[in-house]
Amino acid sequence: MSTLSHVVHLGDCLDPVSGLASLPDRSVDHVITDPPYSEHVHRNLGNEGRSDGARSRDPLTFDAMTDEMAIALAREMARTVRRWILIFGDERVMPTWRHAFQAAAIEYVRTGVWVKTDGMPQMSGDRPAAGVEWIMIGHAPRVSGRMKWNGGGRPAVWTGPAKGSGVKREHPTQKPLWLMEALVRDFTDPGEVIVDPFAGSGTTGVACKRLGRGFIGWERDPKYHAIAERRIRDAKEQLEIGMAYTNAKQETLL
């Protein structure tokens, strides 16, 4: 049985005592996170609908990303992370993160893209709908050696649906499990520890649990913190049931 821990802290990732500041220098391997987006998209998400043109059913309970917040986060990431740093965002917030990476001496590598195969139409009909989300890809300051990922020479493009079959949407900006698992597989190795400062409903944590990676997350909304803990716990139970079934089946073959 894996001894890797999967923890979601209830609180702010920038808390000077209990947030990212509590992690020792270079103590985790990666950051994969979906932080607040730009004020423009955040306003649309909270009022008129999601960035893909659909109506948002739940009001947003967190603030939009600011330059100051991005720089503070980037500096903590540069201090604590050994390898990859992946950050979701809209096109308007990408320059903010590029500047934050530079301020924190994080090596900018590439801007990836998630192409949504089931993107919603623009309900107003006065402009094209948004069919993609962006992923800022950076690398923590390197002590030595080359960067390494598991995707070979293929492009930083991930294509697939926003909605999973039979998956309940429990957060207004919830990412699909297939996407988070793809990123975990492509950028990380089994046994490594991934941090998500904006855990939301815990999809990154579920992907880590299913794929044999450790996980440390922060979520300041008690509602979503409880959802994240429950989803990770459910993933653990499903894995244990599957393992018990496999072991029982093997015993019958002996």
pLDDT tens-digit series, residues 135-190? 999 999 998 889 999 999 999 999 999 887 667 777 778 899 999 999 999 999 99
Residue 113 structure tokens: 């893209």
* 29 in a structural domain: yes
* 245 in a structural domain: yes
For 54-97, the pLDDT digits (tens) are 444 455 556 788 999 999 999 999 999 999 999 999 999 999 99
Secondary structure class of 185 (helix, strand, coil): helix
How much is the pLDDT for 208? 98
* 167 in a structural domain: yes
* 91 in a structural domain: yes
Task: Give the range among 15-24, 43-52, 118-127, 131-140 with minimum mean pLDDT.
Answer: 43-52
Which conformational region is residue 208 in: left (phi greater than 0), alpha (psi within -120 to 50 degrees), or beta? alpha
* 189 in a structural domain: yes
Separation in Å, CA 149 to CA 84, 133, 142? 9, 21, 14
* 1 in a structural domain: no
> Are the beta carbons of 62 and 173 closer than 8 angstroms?
no
Long-range contacts, 127-132 (Cβ 8 Å, 24+): 129/52, 129/53, 130/51, 130/52, 130/53, 130/90, 131/52
What is the CATH number for 46? 3.40.50.150
The range of the structural domain enclosing residue 128 comes to 6-253
* 135 in a structural domain: yes
> Are the beta carbons of 36 and 51 closer than 8 angstroms?
no
Count the alpha carbons within 13 Å of 161 in the hemisphere toward its beta carbon.
6
* 83 in a structural domain: yes
Separation in Å, CA 130 to CA 64, 77, 119, 127? 19, 29, 7, 9
Domain count, the chain: 1
